[in-house]
Amino acid sequence: MKYFAIILFAILIPLVCNAQVELNPNKTNIQTPPIVPCNPNTFWAVHYNPTGGFTTNISEFTLINSIITNNGIVATGCPGMSLAYANYNLLNGNGGTFYSIDYIQNQQLYMYNGVNWTPFGPASPGIHHAFAGYENKIYLSGYWNNTSNQKYIYSFDGTLFDTIFTTPTNFSLASSSITVDNNFNIWMILGPDPLNTPTTILLKIDTLGNLINQYPLSIQSQFAPITSGALFIMNNTLYIGFGPLQPNFPNTLMPFNIIGDSLVMGTPIPFSFPDVYDIKSCNQGTLTSISEVPESLKDLSVYPNPAQDQFMLHLPYRTSSNATIQIYNLQGEVVKSFKASDASPINCSSWPRGIYFVSLVEEGKARVTRKVVVI
């Protein structure tokens, strides 16, 4: 009986192994646990490491119900300021992990093995500053801050680089960020070169470089050397990270949804973590057009609240062009009144501390009123 069990075991093991190989014809059926787990509602930010020379750290954050929680540093010594996460390990076929590129010195790609960053593959064919990944591919954008060269999007499978898209001359990925959704669509923010130029268009292409759609941004993404307009998709929502130089919504994550044919801005989410260069998620989902307006886009919101020197307003979807904003104090006196379309940051630094009420007025009636506390 013992010998029969040994023979049966010897027969079954090859069959099981062969079955696993059959399940993995495209090398995307992961057979091992990920080096970096892909948790729901999680994103990562690359930020400056003040003690590590020209290296960066990676911190993990959780975003639930518009509240961001910092889970701490999960990787150190990142060789570049751009980040990608791919569900499939391009070096040895294991589970998902981080990737980065040393675009300052030699354009070498690096993979995170859980402890260190390991170089792999040939050096990339160009100067790359934006980086994204999904499943078994990495995507790179080339030639930023250079008005004499066309800009490229490359795909990389661990061995070969393939040019899939070329932007017009004198254009760059001014936000220095691209991302990929679960359908392998590549999203990027375009704006005129050179560096520090506000960007104006959100572009969507497929993996062959075919243009699928483009959307004018309802708010310009201001590139800055620190905290650039980082772009990522998580749970079917697109987010753009605005840095301290964004004039209307500094230090925020701005959610966007597609409603019909329009890119619609959601309610800003405070995100003031310092010195962030890039942000990525592994739980992208698909960014598709929705017909029903989410409740979060129907409301008037005040940010930040409480406010100290200034605050911003996020207007409900399809606010009338004739609408006005009226701000009252507790005595019912109008402190400030202006057209809703002119809702730039509201300076409250000289106002007495206390409670104020912000009303959105349409056709002579207050559509919605929100309270703001000035401290």
Q: What is the per-residue pLDDT for 121? A: 80
Looking at per-residue pLDDT, the higher value among 281 and 174 belongs to 281
Please determine, for residue 74, whether its predicted confidence score (pLDDT) is greater than 90.
yes
Give residues with Cβ within 8 angstroms of 356, minimum separation 6.
327, 328, 329, 330, 335, 348, 371, 372, 373, 374
Q: Do the beta carbons of residue 315 and residue 301 sit within 8 Å?
A: no
| pLDDT, tens only, 86-107 | 876 666 556 788 988 876 677 7
Q: What is the pLDDT of residues 104-151, one digit of tens each?
A: 677 788 889 889 998 888 877 766 667 888 877 888 876 555 555 566
- Lowest-pLDDT range of 143-152, 173-182, 330-339: 143-152
At residue 351, does pLDDT exceed 90? Answer: yes
What is the per-residue pLDDT for 63? 92
Query: Cα angle at 222 between 218 and 226, to 5 degrees?
Result: 145
- In 10 A of CB 100, how many CB atoms? 26
Burial 122-138 (b: 16+ CB within 10 A, else e): eebebbbbbbbbbebbb
Read off the pLDDT of residues 221-258 as tens digits, 9 standing for 90 and up: 544 433 455 788 888 888 888 777 777 777 888 888 88
Tokens 């934006």, residue? 130
Q: What is the mean pLDDT of residues 41-54?
A: 78
Q: What pLDDT score was predicted for residue 60?
A: 94
pLDDT for 42 equals: 92
Q: Tell me the domains of the chain and their CATH numbers.
A: 42-294 (2.120.10.80), 301-374 (2.60.40.10)
- Residue 7, helix vs strand vs coil: helix
* pLDDT of amino acid 268: 82
Q: How confident is the model at residue 58 (pLDDT cuts 50, 70, 90)?
A: very high
Q: Classify residue 150 by burial, with Cβ atoms within 10 Å: 0-12, 13-18, 19+.
A: middle
